[in-house]
Structure 1
Amino acid sequence: MIPRELWPHFSEGNAITLLETGAEFFPALALAIDHARKEVFLETYIFRHDRIGELITDALVRAAERGVVVSLLVDGFGSRDFVASHMNLLVDKGVRMLVYRREVGRLLLRRHRLRRLHRKLATIDGRIAFVGGINIIDDHNTALPDHPRHDYAIRIEGPLLQPIHDSARRLWELVAWASFRQRLRLKDTLEPRTDAAGKISAAFVIRDNLRHRRDIETAYLDAIANATDEIVIANAYFLPGRRVRKALTGAADRGVRVIILLQGRVEYALQHYATKALYPALLRHGVRIFEYHRSFLHAKVAVIDGHWATVGSSNFDPFSLLLAREGNVIIRDDGFARRLRERLDHAISTGATELEPSRWRHKSLFKRGLHWIAYALVRFAVGLSGYGGDRDTAER
Structure 2
Amino acid sequence: MSERQWTQGNELTLLENGEAFFPAVFEAIEAARDYVMLETFIWFDDEVGRALRTALIDAAGRGVKVDITVDGYGSAELGRDFVDGLTDAGVRLHVFAPLPPMLGYQINLFRRLHRKLVVVDGEVAFVGGINYSGEHLRSFGAKSKQDYAVKIRGPAVADIDRFCCDAIGDAPKGRRSLRGLLRRLPRGWNRPEAGAQVLFVARDDHNHRSAIEAMYRLGLRKARRDIILLNAYFFPGYRFLRAMRQAVERGARVRLILQGEPDKDYVKFAGSTLYDYLLKIGVEVWEYMERPAHAKVAVMDDEWATVGSSNLDPFSLSLNLEANVFVQDAAFAGELRGRLEHLLEHHCRRVTREEVKRRGPLWHLWRWLAYHLLRHFPRLAQLVPLRNEREQVTRVVGTPAETPPQNEANAG
Per the normalisation by structure 2, the TM-score is 0.84
Partner in structure 2 of residue 16 of structure 1: 12
Q: How many residues align?
A: 372
Is the CA contact (8 Å cut-off) linking 1:240 and 1:316 kept in structure 2? Answer: yes
Is the CA contact (8 Å cut-off) linking 2:17 and 2:136 kept in structure 1? Answer: no
Q: For 2:103 and 2:224, locate their aligned partners in 1 and report how far apart those are by CA, in whole Å.
A: 47
1:166 to 162, 165, 168: 162
Q: Aligned-pair distance for 1:272?
A: 2.6
Partner in structure 2 of residue 284 of structure 1: 280
Q: For 1:140 and 1:116, locate their aligned partners in 2 and report how far apart those are by CA, in whole Å.
A: 20
Is the CA contact (8 Å cut-off) linking 1:140 and 1:147 kept in structure 2? Answer: no
Matched residue SS, 1:329: strand
Are residues 1:269 and 2:265 paired?
A: yes
Q: Aligned-pair distance for 1:354?
A: 0.5
Matched residue SS, 1:64: helix
Are residues 1:359 and 2:359 paired?
A: no
Aligned-partner residue type, residue 314 of structure 1 = S
Is the CA contact (8 Å cut-off) linking 2:17 and 2:137 kept in structure 1? Answer: no
Q: For 1:313 and 1:129, locate their aligned partners in 2 and report how far apart those are by CA, in whole Å.
A: 14
Matched residue SS, 2:380: helix
Q: For 1:324 and 1:87, locate their aligned partners in 2 and report how far apart those are by CA, in whole Å.
A: 24
Q: Aligned-pair distance for 1:131?
A: 0.4
Aligned-partner residue type, residue 101 of structure 2 = V
Q: Aligned-pair distance for 1:150?
A: 0.6
Q: Determine what percentage of the aligned residue pairs are the same residue.
A: 38
Q: Unmatched 5+ residue regions in structure 2?
A: 385-412
Are residues 1:239 and 2:235 paired?
A: yes
Query: What is the CA RMSD across the aligned residues, in angstroms?
Result: 2.5
Q: For 1:147 and 1:91, locate their aligned partners in 2 and report how far apart those are by CA, in whole Å.
A: 32
Q: Give per-residue Cα distances to partners, 1:171-209, cap 9 Å, x unaligned.
A: 112xxxxxxxxxxx6764532314247511111011011
Partner in structure 2 of residue 251 of structure 1: 247
Is the CA contact (8 Å cut-off) linking 1:113 and 1:385 kept in structure 2? Answer: no
Is the CA contact (8 Å cut-off) linking 2:11 and 2:152 kept in structure 1? Answer: yes
Q: For 1:215 and 1:361, locate their aligned partners in 2 and report how far apart those are by CA, in whole Å.
A: 36
Partner in structure 2 of residue 176 of structure 1: none
Q: 1:33 to 1:191 in 2, by over 3 A?
A: same
Are residues 1:68 and 2:54 paired?
A: no
Are residues 1:55 and 2:51 paired?
A: yes
Matched residue SS, 2:36: strand
Is the CA contact (8 Å cut-off) linking 2:148 and 2:295 kept in structure 1? Answer: yes
Q: For 2:336 and 2:318, locate their aligned partners in 1 and report how far apart those are by CA, in whole Å.
A: 27
Are residues 1:191 and 2:177 paired?
A: yes
Q: Aligned-pair distance for 1:146?
A: 5.0
Matched residue SS, 2:59: helix
Q: For 2:171 and 2:200, locate their aligned partners in 1 and report how far apart those are by CA, in whole Å.
A: 22
Q: For 1:353 and 1:340, locate their aligned partners in 2 and report how far apart those are by CA, in whole Å.
A: 19
Q: For 1:188 and 1:10, locate their aligned partners in 2 and report how far apart those are by CA, in whole Å.
A: 22
Partner in structure 1 of residue 338 of structure 2: 342
Q: Unmatched 5+ residue regions in structure 1?
A: 174-184, 389-396
Q: 1:213 to 1:59 in 2, by over 3 A?
A: same
Between 1:59-68 and 1:186-195, the stretch displaced more is: 186-195
Q: For 1:96 and 1:326, locate their aligned partners in 2 and report how far apart those are by CA, in whole Å.
A: 22
Is the CA contact (8 Å cut-off) linking 1:271 and 1:378 kept in structure 2? Answer: no
Per the normalisation by structure 1, the TM-score is 0.88
Q: For 1:377 and 1:83, locate their aligned partners in 2 and report how far apart those are by CA, in whole Å.
A: 37
Q: 1:229 to 1:59 in 2, by over 3 A?
A: same
Is the CA contact (8 Å cut-off) linking 2:165 and 2:173 kept in structure 1? Answer: no
Q: For 2:212 and 2:15, locate their aligned partners in 1 and report how far apart those are by CA, in whole Å.
A: 21
Between 1:158-167 and 1:374-383, the stretch displaced more is: 374-383
Are residues 1:319 and 2:315 paired?
A: yes
